[in-house]
Amino acid sequence: MAFFMNNNTLYFYQLEDKLLEINIHYRKTYKTSATKIFQKLLLNEMTTIKGRIDAIKQIFSYSYNVPIYINQKMIFFKIFGKDKIWVNGSNIESVKKRNEKAIIIFKNGYLLEIEKNYRTIKTMYDRIINILDYKNGLHL
């Protein structure tokens, strides 16, 4: 199965038996899981999900809900609750608060309202910023 996702992917939404990719330019469904897609992409980068998660845990001391760093343009974090969503943190412009819920504002202007606590989403977005800063050499 070929995966055509790219750095324009905003998020994945887990449906009952398939995965919906929301991209700036298209919507596409896959008969697989997000973690299988991430694993395939990471093998192209000559690593694995476990390798990336272990490295991020060691560098940043994150113990749970560790973002999946694929490359500078694709860093996914999960939001699991009523819905199961994997958000590409590299495409987030900002996270705002509305009645204790989070509104993710993507760089292309698209809004995603999340049925999760604002602080939880903001913490995940801050983790993405920390990882990008580290990769860009801003951790020295």
Residue at 2 is within a domain: no
Task: Provide, rounded to the nearest whole percent, the portion of the chain with pLDDT above 90.
Answer: 81
Q: What is the mean pLDDT of the chain?
A: 92
Please count the structural domains in the chain. 1
Q: Do the domain assignments include residue 1?
A: no
Residue ranges of alpha helices (H) inside the chain are 34-44, 49-60, 118-135
Residue 115 has pLDDT above 50, yes or no: yes
DSSP H or E segment with residue 53: helix 49-60
**How confident is the model over 88-92, as a mean pLDDT?**
97
| CATH code of residue 52 | 2.40.50
* Amino acid sitting at position 20: L
Considering the domain boundaries, does residue 101 fall inside one? yes
Residue 4 is assigned to a structural domain of this protein:
no
Question: Which residue segment(s) compose the domain that 95 sits in?
Answer: 9-135
**pLDDT classification of 112: cutoffs 50, 70, 90:** very high
